[in-house]
């Protein structure tokens, strides 16, 4: 049975945040709210959680996992951001965007696209996520919580808890969040390639 952790969406209680981080540090998989629906999250080196995410979402080995980062400085430790794309990525963060970029050696190989050696990276605009990342002191291995056969991310903690009670170790509740997943932009070749249109405005990249 998943642990249900209630965290205020604007003023996250430190004690509740630490409870969620404790689950992550113990090797657990959590479902947590973001600015573009719920996501599944775990520590970067958690191989078991990675496979659990694949199972829950029925993902193949070509899926781009995402590193959810606290700020742009942290993002820059895990992906290469060339001068040609720096301004575009920086101006869109924090926000509902995921950027596909070449990974640095800091990223575990199992998280990379098998052929391109790339990974997704994003900085959400959500107080609970920032509180989690500040307490964890590292990015979260993450994937948008879109169940098989669905097109939108899950939006409510109680519904996530009902659907995944035996599949995750904790569910964070902080009120309903937006249903649209992130807009995904591939910047591997230095120019924006819109992979998925989601919550983030794409006109700035056209």
Task: Check pLDDT > 90 for residue 83.
Answer: no
Residue 101: pLDDT band with limits 50, 70, 90: very high
The proportion of the chain whose per-residue pLDDT surpasses 70, expressed as a percent, equals 100
Cα gap 108→105, rounded to integer Å: 7
Specify the range with the lowest mean pLDDT, choosing from 14-18, 29-33, 64-68, 124-128.
64-68
User: Using one digit for the tens of pLDDT, what is the confidence trace for 122-133?
Assistant: 999 999 999 999
Cα gap 101→188, rounded to integer Å: 5
Backbone angles phi, psi at 30, to 5 degrees: -115, 155
**pTM, two decimal places:** 0.93
Task: Check pLDDT > 80 for residue 62.
Answer: no
Task: Check pLDDT > 90 for residue 204.
Answer: no
Task: Check pLDDT > 80 for residue 114.
Answer: no
Query: Average pLDDT of the chain?
Result: 93
Q: How many CA atoms lie within 13 A of 67 on its CB side?
A: 33
- Cα torsion 147, 151, 155, 160 to 10°: value is -10
User: Using one digit for the tens of pLDDT, what is the confidence trace for 179-202?
Assistant: 888 999 999 988 999 999 999 999
Sheet (strand 193-196) strand order: 3-6, 170-173, 30-34, 37-43, 140-144, 66-68, 118-122, 97-102, 183-186, 193-196
Q: Which fold has domain 3-205?
A: DHBP synthase (3.90.870)
């Amino acid at each position: 049975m998943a642990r249900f952790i209630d965290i205020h969406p604007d003023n996250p209680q430190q004690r509740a945040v630490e409870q969620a981080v404790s689950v992550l540090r113990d090797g657990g998989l959590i479902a947590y709210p973001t600015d573009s629906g719920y996501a599944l999250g775990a520590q970067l080196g958690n191989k078991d959680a990675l496979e659990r995410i694949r199972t829950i979402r029925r993902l193949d080995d070509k899926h781009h996992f995402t590193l959810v980062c606290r700020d742009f400085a942290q993002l820059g430790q895990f992906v290469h951001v060339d001068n040609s794309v720096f301004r575009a990525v920086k101006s869109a963060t924090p926000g509902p965007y995921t950027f596909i970029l070449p990974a640095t050696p800091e990223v575990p190989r199992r998280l990379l696209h098998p052929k391109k050696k790339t990974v997704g990276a994003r900085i959400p605009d959500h107080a609970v996520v920032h509180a989690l990342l500040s307490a964890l002191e590292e990015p979260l291995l993450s994937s948008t919580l879109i169940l098989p056969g669905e097109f939108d991310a899950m939006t409510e903690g109680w519904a996530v808890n009902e659907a995944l009670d035996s599949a995750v170790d904790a569910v964070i509740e902080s009120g309903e969040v937006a249903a649209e997943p992130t807009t995904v932009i591939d910047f591997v070749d230095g120019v924006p390639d819109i992979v998925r249109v989601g919550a983030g405005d794409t006109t700035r990249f056209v």
